């Protein structure tokens, strides 16, 4: 029986489960190399009801003893049984060992004769989506992590190579510090929001900040980055690398000068570097080389949260220049907060021109804070027409605070006409507190007409909380 599959696809585990399920009470013999296998066969030590396990069978069928071992195995299969030989083999080795010889040169005739008797059982490279949706998968922490950090359902490769990949990264601190720096820069970029493929220029500019002065001094200016990339792209166990190439979506081959961080290392980084602050070189590199507008916006937010305000402003400006609406809104808010009302209004107007109704509300707030209540009212009405009555409600409240109850009522009624009675309820309460019970009743009835008993219940409960039982009773009279 031959189980064939790529590296780390689960061949050995498949064989183990088969033996455990079907041949549990048989002897198991597991020779370490071809020489020991030959010794067992020569001694006729493999009795019936024995499983001979040849893991990575190419190690037994190639080399100086390979042909002799193949012939001896063939002979044993002709003797009385029952007797099982179980082998695992990579597809490329199977092709090599079974290929028809060319020009009379036959390097593996006996291995080919042995293997040609077998119909291989192929282990697929990846699991299907349906298999990965099995609830049992997510009951095991290691499997759940492998599913979340694997691409294309290749969870066995992640289980096999993930820990070794982490070790490969940590070991780089001693024998490839530049490689470690480049991988760490990629980890920080991903965890802080750069989801597009990582430009080589970003990694190169960021890496020096992750090195000590002594390490930078020892680096060859001409070759350090190429050497670091080579280390980062070295495939661990033949299946996984810290930095992977990115396929061209419109053609064949890989996109030049961009890389994708291993999902497993990304997951690892969010644990070990969750509280780490990237060096200044990282932020400068992000500002100068981050790829897409959404990546720049995400990095700007990350910089802001970490107190890198100047870098955050530069990143937001770059994203805004590229037309990022989120960055435009953030810059407008920042300029308004720092007193640059003209600059903020200019940016909000760009958003409004692009159809962003939320910017109408923000600009209304800005005009309001500047004391331009008439301008704020015009914008608040436009925002209400677009479905956002918040600015009208706030303006009504501010006019009420300033003593302009008639102006506040006018705005409150306009907000109520679109279904928002909050300003009417507030104003009714204010008129009541001012002793204008007729005005309060008029507003309460209007609110009740629009929103039903909810409006007056809110007013009644407010009086109850204030200890005014008579006032609460008065409001409840207005219930429809």
pLDDT digits 0-9 by tens, 345-364:
676 777 666 666 666 666 66
Task: Give yes or no for residue 311 having a pLDDT over 80.
Answer: yes
CA torsion sign for 37, 41, 42, 43 is positive
Contacts of 338 (CB under 8 A, 6+ apart): none
Report the distance separating Cα 241 and Cα 232, nearest Å: 7
Q: Report whether 240 contacts 232 (CB < 8 A).
A: no
Q: Which pLDDT score is estimated for 125?
A: 83
Write the CATH number of the domain with boundaries 414-480.
Answer: 1.25.40
Q: Which of 165-169, 272-276, 325-329, 360-364 has the lowest mean pLDDT?
A: 360-364
Report the distance separating Cα 5 and Cα 131, nearest Å: 18
Q: Which pLDDT score is estimated for 292?
A: 80
Q: What are phi and psi of 64, to 5 degrees?
A: -65, -30
ω into 5 cis (within 30 of 0):
no
Categorize the per-residue pLDDT at 450 as very low, low, confident or very high, splitting at 50, 70 and 90.
Answer: low
Asked whether the domain spanning 414-480 has the same topology as the one spanning 2-125, the reply is no
Return the DSSP state at 45: -
Q: What are phi and psi of 199, to 5 degrees?
A: -70, 140
Report the distance separating Cα 476 and Cα 199, nearest Å: 66
pLDDT digits 0-9 by tens, 13-48:
899 999 999 998 999 999 988 889 999 999 888 889
Report the distance separating Cα 220 and Cα 122, nearest Å: 47
Q: What are phi and psi of 212, to 5 degrees?
A: -75, 165
Contacts of 385 (CB under 8 A, 6+ apart): none
User: Mean pLDDT across the stretch 169-198?
Assistant: 92
What angle is formed at CA 307 by the lines to CA 344 and CA 203, rounded to 5 degrees? 100
Given CATH 3.40.50.300, say whether it is the number of domain 2-125. Answer: yes
Per-domain residue ranges for the chain?
A: 2-125, 148-286, 292-371, 414-480
Categorize the per-residue pLDDT at 177 as very low, low, confident or very high, splitting at 50, 70 and 90.
Answer: very high
pLDDT digits 0-9 by tens, 56-68:
898 899 888 889 9
Across the strands, what pairs with 462? Answer: none
Helix 177-191 and helix 224-232, axial crossing angle in degrees, nearest 10: 70
Report the distance separating Cα 410 and Cα 83, nearest Å: 95
Q: Residue 444: enclosing H or E segment and its boundaries?
A: helix 437-451
Q: Which pLDDT score is estimated for 18?
A: 93
Tell me how crowded residue 444 is: count the other CB atoms within 10 A of its CB: 28
| Better-scored residue on pLDDT, 140 or 393 | 140
Return the DSSP state at 46: -
Q: Which pLDDT score is estimated for 395?
A: 67
Query: Alpha helix locations (H) across 133-219?
Result: 141-149, 155-175, 177-191, 200-206, 213-218
Give the CATH superfamily of 292-371.
Answer: Tetratricopeptide repeat domain (1.25.40.10)
Report the distance separating Cα 7 and Cα 152, nearest Å: 15
């Amino acid at each position: 029986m031959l189980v064939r599959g790529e590296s780390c696809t689960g061949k050995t585990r498949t064989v183990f489960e088969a033996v455990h399920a079907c041949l549990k009470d048989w002897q198991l013999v597991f020779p370490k190399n071809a020489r020991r296998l030959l010794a067992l066969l020569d001694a006729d030590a493999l009795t019936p009801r024995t499983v001979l396990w040849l893991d990575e069978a190419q190690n037994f069928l190639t080399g100086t003893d390979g042909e002799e071992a193949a012939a001896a195995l063939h002979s044993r299969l002709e003797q009385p049984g029952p007797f099982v030989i179980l082998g695992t083999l990579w597809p490329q080795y199977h092709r090599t060992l079974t290929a028809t010889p060319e020009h009379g040169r036959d390097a593996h005739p006996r291995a080919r004769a042995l293997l040609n008797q077998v119909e291989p059982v192929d282990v697929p490279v990846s699991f299907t989506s349906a298999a990965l949706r099995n609830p049992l998968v997510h009951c095991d922490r290691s499997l759940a992590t492998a599913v979340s950090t694997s691409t294309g359902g290749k969870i066995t490769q992640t289980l096999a190579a993930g820990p070794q990949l982490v070790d490969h990264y940590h070991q780089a601190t001693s024998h490839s510090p530049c490689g470690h720096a480049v991988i760490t820069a990629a980890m920080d970029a991903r965890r802080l929001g750069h989801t597009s493929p990582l430009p080589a220029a970003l990694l190169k500019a960021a890496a020096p900040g992750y090195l000590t002065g002594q390490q930078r001094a020892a680096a060859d200016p001409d070759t350090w980055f190429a050497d670091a990339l080579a280390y980062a792209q070295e495939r661990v166990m033949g299946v996984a690398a810290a930095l992977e190439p990115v396929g061209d979506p419109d053609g064949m081959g890989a996109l030049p000068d961009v890389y994708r961080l291993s999902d497993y290392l990304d997951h690892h980084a969010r644990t070990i570097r969750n509280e780490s602050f990237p060096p200044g070189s990282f932020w400068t590199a992000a500002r100068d080389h981050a790829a897409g507008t959404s990546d720049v916006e995400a990095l700007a937010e990350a910089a802001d949260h970490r107190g890198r305000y100047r870098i955050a402003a530069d990143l937001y400006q770059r994203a805004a220049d590229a037309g990022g609406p989120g960055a435009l809104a953030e810059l407008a808010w920042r300029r308004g907060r720092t007193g640059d009302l003209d600059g903020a209004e200019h940016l909000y107007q760009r958003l409004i021109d692009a159809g962003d109704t939320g910017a109408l509300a923000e600009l209304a707030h800005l005009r309001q804070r500047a004391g331009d209540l008439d301008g704020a009212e015009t914008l608040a009405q436009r925002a209400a027409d677009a479905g956002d009555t918040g600015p009208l409600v706030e303006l009504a409240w501010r006019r009420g605070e300033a003593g302009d109850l008639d102006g506040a009522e006018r705005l409150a009624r306009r907000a109520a006409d679109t279904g928002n009675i909050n300003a009417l309820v507030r104003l009714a309460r204010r008129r009541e507190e001012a002793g204008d019970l007729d005005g309060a009743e008029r507003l309460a009835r209007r609110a009740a007409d629009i929103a039903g008993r909810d409006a007056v219940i809110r007013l009644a409960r407010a009086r109850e909380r204030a200890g005014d039982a008579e006032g609460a009773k008065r409001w409840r009279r207005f219930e429809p």
